[in-house]
Structure 1
Amino acid sequence: MYEPTSTKWTDVYLNEAISLLLITTCPLFLLFYWITYQDFGVSISSSAEALISDGILNFLARCPRPTVASTTAYAAWVLSQAALYHALPGPLHRGPRTPGGRQLLYRLNGFYAWMLTIGFAAVATFGRLIDPTYIARHWGDLLATANVYCAALIVIFYVKARLKPDNAGETLLTGHFWYDLFNGGELHPRTGVLFDWKHFNASRTGGLLLWTLIADLGASDLSFVAFQYQLHGVVTNAMIMATIFRGIIVGEYFYFENCIYGFAAIMPQIWTLQTQYLARYPVDLSNAMTIAVTTAFAAGWVLNHDANRQKSNCREMAGNCLIWGREAQFLEATYQTVDGKKHRTVLLYSEALLVTATVVHRCFRDEARCKEKYGDTWDEYCKIVKWRMIPGIF
């Protein structure tokens, strides 16, 4: 069993309080946004005023609820994606070494699952077998169903971690209910050898693949794209750009599935707020703005993609390569897993780009974990790589 980063009572109770806050507020946050979009014309201020004046219980009475139709549709979605996850061919890839010392195998067939899902949805749409606006029109019911699905998984794997964990070295149980519930107990719960529940839910049931169906289905123009056309008789250039950009990101995610892991309720709701808004309130950008936005996206995508490519290449080549045309500079660090074995890894010189507040949080979180994992070598790395995100500033 691996240990928490701190055992001081102040940190323990702070972690417990933060875990309780996150577990209880995340579903409320998603529902608040749905109510804002559904009942208050996408006005956060009006929605907040109603929350204060009506009280939280009366405000939440507007929340959607699972229906028989939404439950059936969501169950069919999960089962079909589970079948594709299990049955489709794909290369086997070893993940990063776990605290228990294992390197788990993953079958990377997400790109094939993505293409098959898009293809089926396109054919079914043109064949009038499905309504392309179904997800958009029943979004509230599906969101409520997704939250129930998430709650069920949390309970199941909370119990599994206590009764039958896959690996004790990858299971964190502190005896503090909310902290253990938030962490999930097991790092990599699995069924069989290759069915990884964390990877499956992050990328298939509600993560990137469902995000694609909600926001972008290429020529099919499903979901909120179709919903905008149904409401207004037009698909605006802002909607087209948003869906194309997302399609590129999702396609890259699955094509380079070994480099990135991505939620079953949060991601589809929060990451599609733009298309949810545009479906109801169409916006046409000027030609100059369209060019500027497209250029900014292309520059950011190329820079991020190439930085990730060079990082992966440097690790695979143990530093015997070029980065930005220069010989790679790196530190070789050692760390020990709970099985007592020592391992080596390469710490690359790279500077992150500021994208969201989440990235800032992850920056400090990962620094603490790297300090714990690599010790003095991490301190040496920080002396050389002085800036976290913005050179000369932060």
Structure 2
Amino acid sequence: MKRTPPNPHPEYEFLGPPGAVAMLIVLPLITYGLYYNCRSGFGCPPAYWDAKDGLWPKVGSNPATYASDLWNFLLSTWDTDAFMVYSAFMVFLFVCYFVIPGHVVEGTVVGGVGGSPLTKDRSNYKLKYKVNALRTVMLIAVLVVATLMTKGVEPFLFLHGHFIGLITASLVWTFAVAIFVYIWSFIPDSNGQEKILACGGNTGNKIYDFVLGRELNPRFSASPDSTFDIKYFIELRPGLIGWVLLNFGMACQQYHDLGGRITNSMVAVLVFETFYVVDSLWNEAAVLTTMDITTDGFGFMLANGLLTWLPMNYSLQARFLAAYPVDMSMAHCLLVVMTQCVGYYIFRSANGQKNNFRRYGAAAPQNKGLKYMETASGSKLLISGWWGTARHINYFGDWLMALAWSLPCGLASPIPYFYPIYFAVLLIHRELRDEEKCRKKYGKDWDKYCEIVRWRIIPYIY
């Protein structure tokens, strides 16, 4: 088998190999830092730092001991019970994927390099995916209700009490999955052919390729008809469902601490974020048009984002409210609800419009009246509707929802606003990456498109 050589002139992203090394270290430390900086009894953020009081442990003054200090810190966060619970959750989702019925859908054209003779024609390379995530979460909901009715909230207090252990467990799974898919990318498929590699993950730099993801769509079988895709499975299930379960555990902790009630702020966070997750799973097939699936390789960066970063950091608002309850006024409630509703309307209707146009074409009844421009590559770019107002208008709706989930926490601490702040940076960076890819793909047609649709994310502002 002739292996596709690394790109001799790689175009690095995320500051290249040094940035990849930084992600391996900094991303886990940020997750730990958010936990140690916002806990019940210590302040959010804490008023002082002292290892004796169980806050973020101090690093020794001797640089030679930094590595051992970090390792000792990680060992101190190990929780066997938490690891077993997190692992059981992952195995449960894996079994549900195969056991629960679901229909198979065809994704959009994916882009990569290399591969078997059957996939050298990249213009028609599509994969098939099994859609059953919503049914999985419905089964989990039934199990949660049954547990509440028989045992009360007590079992769910585990999620709050073992949170630091769950972070470490998720990181163990993150590194295990990332290592597996990296090694898997070098193993030929069942036909003895090379895997399809991500364009940006085949640089020859081992650390960079490990972080960004070498293989585009790691699967148990290289056949395009295979219905199990590791990246697709992890994209929606562990992170989103785990996020909701952690939120519920924080609500149970508040219910326990407040003697049988939860605040309206906790209800708002629980309802809005659960609705977002259920809506995402309801529209599971829509993820097949995203860059995560079609363009980016699957490596440490995505594994960490979906297995650790998403559930552990996005549940920050609920964890804050469990420790520092907030009772919102009527005006406060109205502000939160309005922000959520406007954000959701923009996000879902814009994404739905794009997804319908890509899947069914301009002639479909649901796309009647939409204007578009054709490019030399044969692609069609929308220039009316939501996509005529801004080139990434869906990002604006997504960010408004992120803000709505932090507003119930009030203004006593800036830490619950980590998510909308980080998310704004992420969306701007993602928009810049997408702009660069589109400019390379469409050339002068993209410049023409940008003249028609001037604004990037927020009309008349950015």
For Structure 1 versus Structure 2, the TM-score category normalised by the shorter chain is: 0.7 to 0.9
Give yes or no for the alignment of 1:266 onto 2:309. yes
* CA gap 1:288/1:392 in 2 versus in 1, 3 angstroms: closer
- For 1:176-195, list aligned pairs within 5 A: 176-192=205-221, 193-195=226-228
Indicate if the aligned counterparts of 1:231 and 1:280 stay in contact, CA closer than 8 A: no
* CA gap 1:180/1:298 in 2 versus in 1, 3 angstroms: same
* One-letter amino acid of the counterpart of residue 188, structure 2: K
**Which residue of the partner structure matches residue 244 of structure 2?**
212
Indicate if the aligned counterparts of 1:88 and 1:109 stay in contact, CA closer than 8 A: yes
Match of 1:202 among 231, 235, 241: 235
Comparing 33-42 with 364-373, greater Cα deviation is found at: 33-42
- For 1:73-112, list aligned pairs within 5 A: 73-100=85-112, 101=122, 102-112=125-135
Give yes or no for the alignment of 1:290 onto 2:328. no
**Which residue of the partner structure matches residue 277 of structure 1?**
320
Structure with a larger share of its residues in strand? 1
**Which residue of the partner structure matches residue 19 of structure 2?**
18
Match of 2:255 among 223, 229, 247: 229
Give the secondary structure class of the aligned counterpart of 1:284: coil
**1:232 shift after superposition:** 2.4
Comparing 95-104 with 109-118, greater Cα deviation is found at: 95-104
* One-letter amino acid of the counterpart of residue 232, structure 1: L
* One-letter amino acid of the counterpart of residue 30, structure 2: F
**1:61 shift after superposition:** 5.4
* CA gap 1:45/1:311 in 2 versus in 1, 3 angstroms: farther
**Which residue of the partner structure matches residue 372 of structure 2?**
330
In structure 1, C-alpha distance between the alignment counterparts of 2:185 and 2:311, rounded to whole Å: 27
- For 1:53-92, list aligned pairs within 5 A: 65-92=77-104
Match of 1:375 among 423, 431, 443: 443
Comparing 99-108 with 56-65, greater Cα deviation is found at: 56-65
Give the secondary structure class of the aligned counterpart of 1:199: helix
In structure 1, C-alpha distance between the alignment counterparts of 2:94 and 2:173, rounded to whole Å: 14
**Which residue of the partner structure matches residue 154 of structure 1?**
178
Measured on the aligned residues, the alpha-carbon RMSD in Å equals 3.0
Gapped regions of structure 2 (runs ≥ 5): 61-65, 113-121, 293-305, 400-423
Indicate if the aligned counterparts of 1:90 and 1:108 stay in contact, CA closer than 8 A: yes
Match of 2:204 among 175, 200, 225: 175
Comparing 359-368 with 184-193, greater Cα deviation is found at: 184-193
What number of residue pairs does the alignment pair up? 376
**1:150 shift after superposition:** 0.5
**Which residue of the partner structure matches residue 311 of structure 1?**
354
* One-letter amino acid of the counterpart of residue 190, structure 1: R
- For 1:121-160, list aligned pairs within 5 A: 121-128=144-151, 131-160=155-184
In structure 2, C-alpha distance between the alignment counterparts of 1:2 and 1:194, rounded to whole Å: 28
In structure 1, C-alpha distance between the alignment counterparts of 2:78 and 2:58, rounded to whole Å: 27
> Alignment identity in percent?
24
Indicate if the aligned counterparts of 1:5 and 1:372 stay in contact, CA closer than 8 A: no
* CA gap 1:13/1:264 in 2 versus in 1, 3 angstroms: closer
* CA gap 1:13/1:91 in 2 versus in 1, 3 angstroms: closer
**1:45 shift after superposition:** 7.2
**1:377 shift after superposition:** 2.6
* One-letter amino acid of the counterpart of residue 10, structure 2: T
**1:265 shift after superposition:** 0.5
In structure 1, C-alpha distance between the alignment counterparts of 2:369 and 2:170, rounded to whole Å: 48
* One-letter amino acid of the counterpart of residue 151, structure 2: R
In structure 2, C-alpha distance between the alignment counterparts of 1:141 and 1:68, rounded to whole Å: 8
* CA gap 1:285/1:25 in 2 versus in 1, 3 angstroms: same
Give the secondary structure class of the aligned counterpart of 1:331: strand
* CA gap 1:224/1:14 in 2 versus in 1, 3 angstroms: closer
In structure 2, C-alpha distance between the alignment counterparts of 1:248 and 1:240, rounded to whole Å: 12
**1:134 shift after superposition:** 1.5
Indicate if the aligned counterparts of 1:146 and 1:264 stay in contact, CA closer than 8 A: yes
